[in-house]
Structure 1
Amino acid sequence: MTRLFANLFAVKPAHEMAPRSSSNLSSDEKLAHAIQRKCLVLNLDGYTQWHPQNPDHPRNWTSSRKAYNTAVILLLEFITSAAGTAGTSAAAEAQSDYNIGLGFSIFCLTSTYLIGQGIGGIFFPPYSEVFGRKILYILSTLGYCTFSILTAAVPSLPVVIITRLLTGILSAIPTIVVAGSIEDMFNMKARVWMIFTWAVIGNIAVCIGPIFSTRWVFYITSIGLGILFVFCLLLHESRPSLLLERKVATLRKTRPDMVIKTLNPDSAPNAKTLLQVTLVRPLRLLFTEPIVMMVAFMGSVTCALFYVSAESLLLVFEAYGWSPQTASLSFIPIALGCLCGFFTRLYDHRKLANRTKDGKTLEPEDKLFGFAIAAPSLAIGKTSPSPTPRKANKRSGLWVFAWMTPPATNVHWIVPMLSLVLVGYALNENVYTLTGYLADSYTIYAASGFAGLILARASTSAVILPFARPMYVNLGYNRATSILAAIATAFCVAPFVFFRYGKRIREVSKFAKYSLTTYQYNQVENDLNVTK
């Protein structure tokens, strides 16, 4: 197992530099030698590319550099995700502070945050593809820290609404751009574990946030981000196309007599191009790319199901006679369920290793086994090993929680708690498999694909969340959760659609093809058995 995780940060040996140029060389040969001395290569079209063993490419970084970048950005994701969902619990305190209704308080502290996250999700991911990841991590950490202080310290409802909206906008950076950074540094096999780690950390933070039912959580957030800001200053930029442009720019200064070309589709030489990349591209992907549309729809419904069911936890366990603080501990089994995905990743790793050993092509659909288990687990519970939702045994996750809780029955509280483990597993697997599928389908433009996902997910949850508590109060806890379980049951067919038609859908997605072509210009690995 130690060897398995050590391989995630493995680096290839540096390429031997080209021999010194001679005065007898032609201009073309001098150009080739100058480029090779930078550990770059010329392709057949005359464009400068990365050499497969260039140590400056993020895929070839040292283990310590990869580990540092990964740890900092994942910690940023953890803190901001926990602070985001803490707003729901803090809404009860804000209700009395500002003399407003609970539904409106939830809207002010949580819905505005999610709306901001959807807005930021459109602009920041493609912006990071043009100007790099590092600057956004620095700005988001500093801005989130500042606005969290204002949220906690200023006793004004308009200020709280504005600051929560702004922190939501900034939260889109770690929520989405982190996955792009992971794609920068790790190949398809390593991403099996890295995307899983990112999903687990984010989802556990989502579960931890509601446990802190006081506005002091915003002070804690600001302190943590203030410390993390210093570490963000020491991050290394990981966008390969931007790093290549910087290396070529240095080469052009030393050899102004040479014409050195790069194929950089991320460049934005004017405001029109920048608008096209940062706004038009994500929206176009969301409404024209079949893959993005499907993933965004399923991701938004899954996230909405979680937020609504999470609203019910305090109500349900308070019916057992627990205090609100004790009832908030019901998020712990959901967090434990997220960790159970580790065993699914072992299966994925073994499967991918066997396919590579047999010389078979790896497809994005090969990593959807967890989704095939998660879909029925969310509603139906224990499933068979086969990745076919039709064969699931009729035991339940949300169904158990719906009818094994008061007032329908007074069974021991451990029963609904155990069902929440399945809910947590399904939540994490859905996030991991769907985002991983986008990363493998759109490679270096994965962040633009995630923008559509986060917009749909955040806007759906923001609209539904204020109505969750009234729904449970008016319909009753059991019937309200049954509605969620019925929706989740209908989703059991989704894995079958991906297994059967996923490759065909990718083949008709124009931007997915374009992403593959662009990736081939920026890749450094000769992994011929991996398709993106």
Structure 2
Amino acid sequence: MQSISSESTLSTGEPEPSAIELLHDHCLELTPDGRYVRWLGDHPRHPRNWSGLRKTYDIVLICLLDLFITASSTAGSAAAAQAKHEYNISGTLSIFIFVTIFLLGQVAGTILFPPWSETFGRKNMYIVSSGLSAICCIIIGLVRSMPVIIIMRITAGLLSAIPYTIIGGSIEDMFNSHARIWAMYYWTIASNIGLILGPIMSSYIIAGLDWRWNFYIFAIIVAVITGGLFFIRESRPSLLLAYEVKRVTDMTTVQYIPPPLNHDHIPDLNTFLKEALFRPAQLFFQEPIIFVIAVMISVAMSLIYIFTEALQPIYESMGFAKTDASLIFIAIGLGTCLSTLTRMLDSYILNYLRRQGRPIKPEYKLVGLGLGGPFLAIGLWWFAWTIPPENQTPWIVPTISLVLVGYALTEMDTVLYGYISDAYLSYSASATAAVAFLRALLSGVFPLFTPQMFDRLGNNVAMSVLAAVATAFCIVPPVFICYGERIRRASKFARYSWEIQEELGKEKEDW
């Protein structure tokens, strides 16, 4: 113990150990200017040096939280279909109450929470989000008042933005650059499976019980996850560093130890308006890359919410029972899992470039986008013209096309978010906020007109409209691959990332 050795040296009249030596003994060091304390790379309590078992427990649990909270958003569609009879409201209004306002709450959460999320720590925010989400689900199931249901659904959507916006930070806290590729991919898989699992779970729950039990069961699941979250560790390095410095200070008689290096703070109003509102909007409207990516991701991922309204009626017309029709979402889930093959290809390409000593440019990681764009268009055209009423092919024929759709959606989601991070570096949080805002907004709006669109245009034409949009997206991968670097060099914000890459010459592994 340092306190014992310090007291011993003082009692014998020997010189007191210097702060530098003391910090080094505890795997800490001073910044070059000597004003602050920072981590040494081998500190055992830094999140990146935790055991594999510790990291696995924490990341699996928070991914499960995001999975089931995401599932509760798509599960709202099945609840809306039954609740409209109880409250004697239109189908569109019921979808708005149980689906759209949840996602509008998420829109607000993506704006409000990120500026403060670095200050209060990851663990506390996960516990607050999951605990209050479970309470919201219970209240929705118990009460008969529609205004209360609306308030709880908005609140649940607001809370859902917490894991959605800070899981990426937890992954960055715990994993180095190579491991982050896979950790981010597993998170994407979990989130997308949540979108797919929601309609399946809700269909069977409502068929066996009623729509209120849909929320009771989600409340039980999220409450169990909340209990598990009490056993995760806080992973925010700045908070842990403050604890370490205090621990060292309390253990020694050294008169002065500099404060920990900490960039986290609660922003004032001007900073909040600039970073949380103005900058994402500025990036969306001024940066062609961000604008295109936001539109692509938002429209593509909104397809899941469109499918929650359209897929089951289509398969019911083929003779499926309502619950069995929900199982068709499994095909999209299979496609999601196939993205593992593309991540393996990415790893092979990046390792090859490293062995060649070549710099790793963001465009080199767009292989998945080059595959996903065409596969999405092919899958949607295939589905559009193998379903009734124009075609009476066996149900397996259009279902296979949904595997392509699931693969494409996961690739676009994973690759484009990664491209934002690589291309915009310190501005990536604001860029991601712009994408998340539009994604949640369109996901909430599209289901409102999906039934009318399919009723008026018919299944084949309505799906063809979506396929045509996906076909237009196919021009983006070759443009980004061939001209992405040139676009970034001309960008006010992305130029910073390009200059850093030029200075480094190649990507370096961080500890």
Fold conserved (TM > 0.5)?
A: yes
Q: Could you tell me how far apart the structure 2 residues matched to 1:340 and 1:463 are?
A: 29
Q: TM-score, normalised by structure 1?
A: 0.83
Q: Structure 2 CA distance, aligned partners of 1:478 and 1:116?
A: 33
Aligned residue in 2 for 1:83: 72
Gaps of 5+ in 2: 501-505
Match runs of 1:72-471 below 5 Å: 72-211=61-200, 212-213=202-203, 214=206, 215=211, 216-251=213-248, 257-258=255-256, 260=258, 262-268=260-266, 273=271, 282-283=280-281, 285-287=283-285, 291-380=289-378, 397-441=379-423, 447-471=429-453
Offset of residue 57 of structure 1: 1.9
| Separation in 2, partners of 1:275, 1:246 | 31
Matched, 1:495 2:485: no
Count matched residues. Answer: 488
| Structure 1 SS opposite 2:38 | strand
Distance 1:282 1:318 in 2: 42
| Cα distance, 1:511 vs structure 2 | 5.9
Q: Give 1:438's aligned amino acid.
A: I
SS at 1:49's partner residue? strand
Q: Distance in 2 between matches of 1:193 and 1:500?
A: 26
Identity within the alignment, %: 43
1-side partners of 2:357 and 2:274: how far apart? 40
- One-letter identity of the residue aligned with 1:374: G
CA 1:42–1:315 in 2, change beyond 3 Å: closer, same or farther? same
Q: 1:483-510: per-residue Cα shift (whole Å, max 9, x none)?
A: 1000000001122232234344555666
Q: In structure 1, what is the Cα distance between the partners aligned to 2:432 and 2:476?
A: 19
Partner Cα separation in structure 2 for residue 247 and residue 508 of structure 1: 43
SS at match of 1:411: coil
The equivalent position to 2:467 in structure 1, one of 464, 485, 490, is 485
CA distance in 2, matches of 1:116, 1:462: 10
Instruction: Flag the 1:336–1:406 CA change in 2: closer, same or farther, 3 A.
Output: same
Distance 1:146 1:447, change over 3 A: farther
Structure 1 residues 290 and 49 mapped into 2: Cα distance closer, same or farther (>3 Å)? farther
What are the equivalent positions in structure 2 for 1:36-51 lying under 5 Å apart? 36-46=24-34, 47-51=36-40
What amino acid is aligned across from residue 419 of structure 2 in structure 1? Y
**Counterparts in 2 of 1:97 and 1:322: CA distance versus 1, 3 Å:** same
What's the CA shift for 1:236? 1.1
Q: Contact 2:381/2:467 (CA < 8 Å) preserved in 1?
A: yes
Partner Cα separation in structure 2 for residue 141 and residue 237 of structure 1: 16
Structure 1 pair 173–441 and aligned structure 2 pair: CA distance change class (3 A): farther
Q: Residue 282 of structure 1: CA displacement?
A: 4.8
Q: Is this contact kept in 2: 1:127–1:277, CA < 8 A?
A: no
Q: Is the CA contact (8 Å cut-off) linking 1:176 and 1:450 kept in structure 2?
A: no
Alpha-carbon distance, 1:424 to partner: 0.6
For 1:444 and 1:493, locate their aligned partners in 2 and report how far apart those are by CA, in whole Å. 28
Let me know the Cα RMSD of the aligned residues.
Answer: 3.1
* Alpha-carbon shift at residue 277 of structure 1 (Å): 5.4
| 1:168-224 Cα distance to aligned partner (Å, 9 max, x none) | 111112223212211221122212221111111111121111122322221111111
Q: Which amino acid aligns with 1:413?
A: W
Corresponding residue for 2:503?
Answer: none
Residue in 1 that maps onto 2:456: 474
Residue by residue over 1:12-48, the C-alpha shift from the partner in whole angstroms, topping out at 9 and shown as x without a partner, is xxxxxxx999999999x92322332231233433343
Q: Contact (CA 8 Å) 1:42, 1:49: kept in 2 or not?
A: yes
> Is the CA contact (8 Å cut-off) linking 2:427 and 2:493 kept in structure 1?
no
Aligned mates of 2:48, 2:435 — CA distance in 1: 26
Indicate if the aligned counterparts of 2:353 and 2:360 stay in contact, CA closer than 8 A: yes
Distance 2:274 2:239 in 1: 18
Cα–Cα, structure 1 residues 256 and 511, in superposed 2: closer, same or farther, change >3 Å? farther
Contact 1:118 1:169 in 2 (8 A): yes
Q: In structure 2, how many angstroms separate the alpha carbons of the residues matched to 1:505 and 1:240?
A: 34
Q: 1:441 Cα shift?
A: 4.5
1:437 is displaced (CA, Å) by 2.6
CA distance in 2, matches of 1:485, 1:342: 25
Indicate the SS of the match to 1:340.
helix
The 3 A distance-change label for structure 1 pair 456 and 230 is same
> Which structure 1 residue ranges, 5 or more long, are not aligned?
1-18, 381-396, 519-526
Q: How far, CA to CA, are the matches of 2:286 and 2:37 in structure 1? A: 32
Q: Distance in 1 between matches of 2:314 and 2:332?
A: 15
Distance verdict in 2 for CA 1:26–1:371, change over 3 Å: farther
SS in 1 for 2:42: coil
| Deviates further, 63-72 or 178-187 | 178-187
Question: Taking structure 1 as reference, are residues 289 and 143 closer, same or farther at Cα in structure 2, changes over 3 Å only?
Answer: farther
Q: Greater shift after overlay, 328-337 or 238-247?
A: 238-247
Tell me: CA distance 1:262–1:54, structure 2 relative to 1, closer, same or farther (3 Å): same
